[in-house]
Amino acid sequence: MLDGYIPLLITLVLIILGMIATFSVLPSIGESRYRKDRKISFRPRDVIANLHLERSPPAQNGAYLEPYESGEVAKGEIGKFVTVQYYVVILLFILFDVDMVLLFPWAMDFAKLGVIPFIETLVFLAMPLFVVYYAFKEGYMRWQR
C-alpha cells in the first residue's frame, strides 16, 4: 500500500539531513567569524573547532555570566531568600481555581440536590475561606511584609 511512498520518504529525510549538515558544516569550513587566524580548511580538527564556535560563540563581556530572569537584571546578593508571600498568593489563586472547577457540576444539579449536599458544599467553601482568613491574619496578603 505504501510501496511508492517509502522511497520518497527516505529521499526526503536524506535531503533534509543533508541540508542540515551542509548549512552547519559550510560555515565551519570557511573563515571563522570569531577567530581571524583561521582560514579555509578541510581538516577535521579545524572543522570541529569552527563548528563549535558557530554553535556557541564566545562571550564578548561578562554580561553572559550575570543572572537574568524575565527581562530584568537581577539586583542584590546571592543567597538572599525570596519571600514566601508570592508563593502564598499563587497557591491561593490555584486553590480558588480548583474550587470553582469542583463547584461547577454542583451548580448544574443544584435544584435536584437536597439539604445535606448543600451543607457539605458550605463546609467545602468554608475551608478556602479559612485559608484566606489565616493568610490575612499572618500578613501574607500584604504586598510588602
In tens digits, what is the pLDDT along the chain, a chain of 145 residues? Answer: 567 788 888 899 999 998 887 776 676 666 556 666 666 667 778 777 777 766 666 667 766 666 666 666 666 666 666 666 777 778 888 888 888 888 888 888 878 888 888 888 889 889 888 888 887 888 777 766 4
pLDDT of residue 31: 58
φ/ψ region of 114 (left if φ > 0, alpha if ψ in -120 to 50, else beta) reads beta
Rounded CA-CA distance 124/104 in Å is 13
Handedness of CA 58, 63, 66, 69 (dihedral sign): negative
Taking every pair of C-alpha atoms in the chain, what is the biggest distance, in angstroms?
85
pLDDT of residue 81: 66
φ/ψ region of 123 (left if φ > 0, alpha if ψ in -120 to 50, else beta) reads alpha
Rounded CA-CA distance 126/120 in Å is 10
Residue 2 burial (CB count, 10 A): 7
pLDDT of residue 15: 93
pLDDT of residue 134: 86
For 118, phi and psi rounded to 5 degrees?
A: -65, -40
pLDDT of residue 98: 85
